[in-house]
Amino acid sequence: MLVASGYVEVNEENDLDEVKAALETAAIEVTEALGEKIVFLIERDQAKEVKAALDHLKDIPGVRTVYLAYYSLECSDEEKDQLLA
């Protein structure tokens, strides 16, 4: 299981609930939501799935910025290359 964690900043505090719902719909765990920040945890089986989930974050309406704080690379060299590409 691969893990990525970080937080997103929303444009305005009013966007918090909508962005939180979009994350949960995409099977991204919300570990905390406060003010203009939402802390997230992504767990997937393959690196390409983690990358797809991270790429999706920036396209959610109301998201200003995405910050990645941690990711695991317990995978093959090929999957590592896909994640870092």
Pick the CATH number of 2-84 from 3.20.20.70, 3.10.150.10, 3.30.70.920, 1.10.10.10: 3.30.70.920
Q: What is the pLDDT of residue 77?
A: 62
Quick one: DSSP state of residue 13? G
pLDDT of 75 higher than 60: no
Confidence of residue 71 (pLDDT cuts 50, 70, 90): confident
List C-alpha distances in Å: 11 to 8, 14, 29, 58, 78.
10, 8, 20, 12, 36
The reply to whether the predicted model has a pTM over 0.85 is no
Are 62 and 10 in contact by the 8 Å Cβ rule? The answer is yes
| Residues 1-28 pLDDT 10s | 899 999 999 999 999 999 999 999 999 9
Instruction: Please report, for the chain, the start and end positions of each structural domain, with discontinuous segments joined by +.
Output: 2-84
Q: Furthest-apart CA pair in the chain: how many Å?
A: 42
